[in-house]
Amino acid sequence: MAVLDFILNCVCLLLWLNWRSRGLTSLPAAPGIALIGTLKRAGRRRAERWPSSVALVAILVARAVLYAEVGSSTRWIPSLSFGPLALHFRTDNFVRMLLFSWLGFVAFLAIFYFSLFLITAVNRNVPNNEPWTALMRAHIGLFARLPAWVTLLAPFAGGFVFWIALGPMFEKFQLTVATKSFTALLRQASVIGLSTWMFWPYLIAGILMLYIVSSYVYLGNAPFWNFIGLSGRNLLRPLSPLPLRCGKADLTPLLALGLVIALAMYAPSMLGWLYAKITV
């Protein structure tokens, strides 16, 4: 069931992007990228956006019905992880399954957009004629025009506000332990805000691994590999002053990859320790 839920989240994300793409404007021509090539220019009728949005809502409701029907028989306990906090949902309650369906997609969508925030902030100085960068900037809209530090802090702010707004509702649904005061809720929200950055080490590691491969193996001149090269060099820029070159070999990507893997391994436990300390 967990695999099915992940697949349906991916389908919902594609439907969302299709709906969102039909409203994007001022994108450069980029025949080398199929996704960009499918984007509709300004002037399309707004009615063309409805099928994707209707299908998205239908899937989110239909899978809640499915989970409520078969969840108990499969002994599946749906859960959503927010850093050190995990919300567990009863499958015999349709309202909770509907809440799980929508919250699961919102969390999935947030991870996607927070990833775009990081990449656009790192590639702040890349010109807009680079098609992948232009596509990402178009999808995040206003955030692409804000200073990089604001874009990097936006996930924390989003997670913080999200928990302040919905934390009390989760308590009423008995999904979390009731907080003793509003101050305790603020502390919880700060940890949730920090947890929004926990996916970034995996994203950085993926980009760096592709960057290392493309640096030693010629994979063509496709726009995607040019984008990986730009992103990899920009991610490695903070380590550029270190003397890590050995002849023609550059060890900087390997050091950076090791650092982000260590961060991905130990950051969750550190976040859990922090949560235990500040929410006592």
Note the pLDDT of residue 37. Answer: 45
Residue 9 in tokens: 């989240």
pLDDT at 43: 47
Residue (of 147, 103, 102) closest to 121 by Cα position: 147
Place of tokens 């369906």: 101
Give the span between the Cα atoms of 243 and 77, in whole angstroms. 50
What is the full DSSP assignment across 26-92? -PPP-TT-HHHHTPPPTT--GGGGHHHHHHHHHHHHHHHHHHHHHTTTTT---EEEETTEEEE--TT
Cβ atoms 90, 96 nearer than 8 A = yes
Q: Does an H or E element contain 126, and which?
A: none
Q: If you search the block for the tokens 């991870």, which residue do you land on?
A: 111
Task: Decide: 231 and 207 in contact? Cβ < 8 Å.
Answer: yes
Domain coordinates in residue numbering, the chain: 2-197
Cα angle for residues 156, 2, 178 (degrees, 5° grid): 50
Exposed, middle or buried by CB within 10 Å (0-12, 13-18, 19+), for 237?
A: exposed
- The distance from CA 144 to its chain's CA centroid, rounded to whole angstroms, is 16
Phi, psi at 32, each rounded to 5°? -80, -10
| Residue that the structure tokens 């969508």 belong to | 109
Hey, is 222 helix, strand or coil?
coil
Per-residue pLDDT of the chain (280 residues; tens, 9 = 90+): 788 889 999 999 998 888 887 766 555 554 444 444 444 444 455 556 677 788 889 999 999 888 888 877 777 888 888 888 888 888 887 888 899 999 999 999 999 999 999 999 999 888 888 888 888 888 888 888 889 899 999 999 999 999 999 888 888 888 887 777 888 888 889 999 999 999 999 999 999 999 998 888 877 788 888 899 899 999 998 888 877 777 677 788 888 899 999 999 998 888 888 888 776 6
Note the pLDDT of residue 260.
92
Specify the residue for token string 């730009």.
Answer: 230
Handedness of CA 178, 182, 183, 189 (dihedral sign): positive
Q: pTM here?
A: 0.84
- pLDDT (0 to 100) of residue 49: 64
